[in-house]
Amino acid sequence: MNVKVGLSLYLLLVLTACSKSDLSEQVAFYALRDFETDGPYRIEENSAKIGNEILIPYSDLQWYNSTKHSFAISESLSRQIDIGLNSTGYFKKPFAVAIGKEIIYTGYFWSALSSTGCDWTTAIPLGPELLIQLSYPGPIDGVVVPDRRNDHRILEIFRRDGKLVE
């Protein structure tokens, strides 16, 4: 009898520990609280620091399409992020895509309506999708933006949870 109780408690502890570690392995968009730039928008990633402000939690990321480099988000979240007629939304707001508190890549929220270019990673709300693009409106001659959109850790988390579209 004691062996069964001991084994049951052991299994419960193992399963609880696994659940807690899974919670810390979620992808989220955090606001950058401190960073330096090299040029107009190029974030020096070794200087980037995130705070506690989560702009888009993992629960709001419905799926990730690794071919299109886009996240599915709700229409209401898209409207909150995008430029409205009377507001700026998150336009030009710097962010970090992080797992737990580990930064994978940085960028800026941008708008498809903007006439201003950006020489860094951008997150552009397009209805129910958030397109992650290297520079805006497209490639800029002589500018290389590191591409970490399909970092293996991001793909593993979305695959693990059945939220990866390949």
Other Cβ atoms within 10 Å of 6 Cβ, number: 10
65 alpha carbon, distance to own chain's centre: 13
| pLDDT-based confidence at residue 73 (cuts at 50, 70, 90) | very high
What confidence score (pLDDT) does residue 2 get? 57
pLDDT surpassing 80 at residue 86: no
pLDDT category of residue 29 using cuts at 50, 70 and 90: very high
CA–chain centroid gap for 164, Å, is 14
* Residue 12 counted as domain residue: no
11 lies in a domain?
no
Mean local confidence (pLDDT), 27-35 = 95
Q: Across the chain, how many H-helices and E-strands are there?
A: 3, 9
Instruction: Note the pLDDT of residue 82.
Output: 83
Q: How many CB atoms lie within 10 A of CB 98?
A: 19
**124 in a structural domain:** yes
In a domain, 3, yes or no: no
Q: Is residue 6 part of a domain?
A: no
Return the biggest CA–CA distance within the chain: 72
pLDDT at residue 137 is higher than 60: yes
- Does residue 97 lie within any of the structural domains? yes
Specify if 19 maps to a domain: no
> Distance between CA atoms of 155 and 54, rounded to whole angstroms?
20
What pLDDT does 60 receive?
Answer: 96
Asked, for residue 18, whether it belongs to a domain, the answer is: no
Which pLDDT belongs to residue 12?
44
Beta strand residue intervals within the chain, DSSP E: 27-37, 43-56, 63-65, 70-72, 94-99, 102-109, 118-126, 129-136, 164-165
d(CA 83, CA 68): 22
Give per-residue pLDDT as tens, 32-56: 999 999 989 999 999 999 989 999 9
Sign of CA dihedral 32, 36, 42, 46: negative
Coil/strand/helix, residue 34: strand
Q: Round to whole Å and give the CA distance between 118 and 2.
A: 65
pLDDT tens, 91-131? 999 999 999 999 999 999 998 888 899 999 999 999 899 99
3-state secondary structure of 10: helix
Q: How many domains does the chain have?
A: 1
